[in-house]
Structure 1
Amino acid sequence: MNESAPAVDDIPEDASAAAMATFVAIRRLTRRLRALPGDSGLTSAQVSALVRLGKVDSATVGELAGSEQVSHQAMVKVVAVLEQAGLVRRDPDPTDGRRQLISLTEAGQPRAQGERHARQEWLARALAEHGTPEEIRALLVAAELLGKVADSL
């Protein structure tokens, strides 16, 4: 345990309740966003890997599997489909010839951006429909805090 981290008994009750509510809401929202239908013909796992690759220059299959929380074998299959569709390519890792780096192709880049944009648009509409202006401003503040927490890990 990090020496500067408070003991479990020292965590304020509000922070503990906020952590649980945030965890549950993020998990539900993530599942909902991944399940959104698209006209791309790709599965949610393929779309998720494509969007993830759109956020980084390249990644190994193992890194993708870890970030998507799936088995290495499952990600190998996902990457194979994306490669066959011409959306990703494999290149040798310049620092380790045993590894391959997966990156988006020119055709894959707009596809990844389009998938991410479609999900962002859905979420923006849902927030506008279900949230008050005050709730949306509070969400912006909360998102900033969550970003700080994510950056601290």
Structure 2
Amino acid sequence: MNHPDTSPQTGTDAGLAAVLRMAVGRLARRLRAQRPDSSLSLGQGSVLFTLARHGQPMTPGALADHEKVQPPSMTRIVAALEARGLVRRMRHPEDGRQQLVEITEEGTRLVNSDHQRREAWLTQRLTELSPEEKDVLRRAAEIMDRLSQS
């Protein structure tokens, strides 16, 4: 496929923002469709991924801050995950008034299975692209990561 560097839609920052938002949204939906356990809400899945990535227990307050939700919402998310055996709560060793939440082995297996399925799907899609298109995506991925951090 031969695409010009700019099109009428992407010739301005606002146009590029609109096209990028739609493309990223569609790709995110396609990746979400690959989830092995679609009964988890997006919030529950996000909390599991955060706990797995963090690598150690977190307080519900720290999870709420990280996920940009109110503490009562996090309480409901953690309770639902705990009921499914994907996380467990424990007393905070230094502050008995607080609890810590940690991912269980079952939760870790679910996160790993999710990563494997999504990456396998995306890897398969990448085989459909030319080497030049893959190079563009490598550069774009770095830029998008930088944008997501700002």
| Same fold by TM-score greater than 0.5 | yes
- Alignment equivalent of 1:54, drawn from 36, 52, 55: 52
- Tell me, yes or no, if the aligned pair for 2:86 and 2:104 is still in contact at 8 Å: yes
Equivalent residue of 1:89, what SS?
strand
Determine which structure has greater relative contact order: mean sequence separation of CA pairs < 8 Å that are 6+ residues apart, divided by chain length: 2
- Over 3 Å counting, the alpha-carbon distance change for 1:44 and 1:33 in structure 2 is farther
Look up the equivalent residue of 1:82 and give its one-letter code.
L
In structure 1, the gaps of 5 or more residues are: 1-12
- Over 3 Å counting, the alpha-carbon distance change for 1:137 and 1:93 in structure 2 is farther
Query: In percent, how many aligned pairs have the same letter?
Result: 37
Counterpart for residue 102 of structure 1: 101
Are 2:133 and 1:135 equivalent residues in the alignment?
A: yes
Question: Which residues of 2 match residues 10-89 of structure 1 at below 5 A?
Answer: 14-38=12-36, 40=37, 42-45=39-42, 46-57=44-55, 58-65=57-64, 68=67, 72-89=71-88
- Over 3 Å counting, the alpha-carbon distance change for 1:99 and 1:20 in structure 2 is farther
Partners of 1:28 and 1:141 lie apart in 2 by 20
- Over 3 Å counting, the alpha-carbon distance change for 1:53 and 1:134 in structure 2 is same
Look up the equivalent residue of 1:77 and give its one-letter code.
R
Partners of 2:95 and 2:102 lie apart in 1 by 16
- TM-score of the aligned structures, taking structure 1 as reference length: 0.67
Note the C-alpha offset of 1:115: 1.2
Note the C-alpha offset of 1:119: 1.3
- Over 3 Å counting, the alpha-carbon distance change for 1:35 and 1:60 in structure 2 is farther
- Over 3 Å counting, the alpha-carbon distance change for 1:98 and 1:33 in structure 2 is farther
- Tell me, yes or no, if the aligned pair for 2:34 and 2:117 is still in contact at 8 Å: no
Superposed CA offset, 1:36-78 (max 9, x none)? 352x474243334322322113444455456556665444333
- Over 3 Å counting, the alpha-carbon distance change for 1:135 and 1:35 in structure 2 is same
- Tell me, yes or no, if the aligned pair for 2:91 and 2:98 is still in contact at 8 Å: yes
Counterpart for residue 146 of structure 2: 148
Note the C-alpha offset of 1:138: 0.8
- Tell me, yes or no, if the aligned pair for 2:35 and 2:114 is still in contact at 8 Å: no
Counterpart for residue 8 of structure 2: none
Aligned residues: 138
- Over 3 Å counting, the alpha-carbon distance change for 1:85 and 1:149 in structure 2 is same
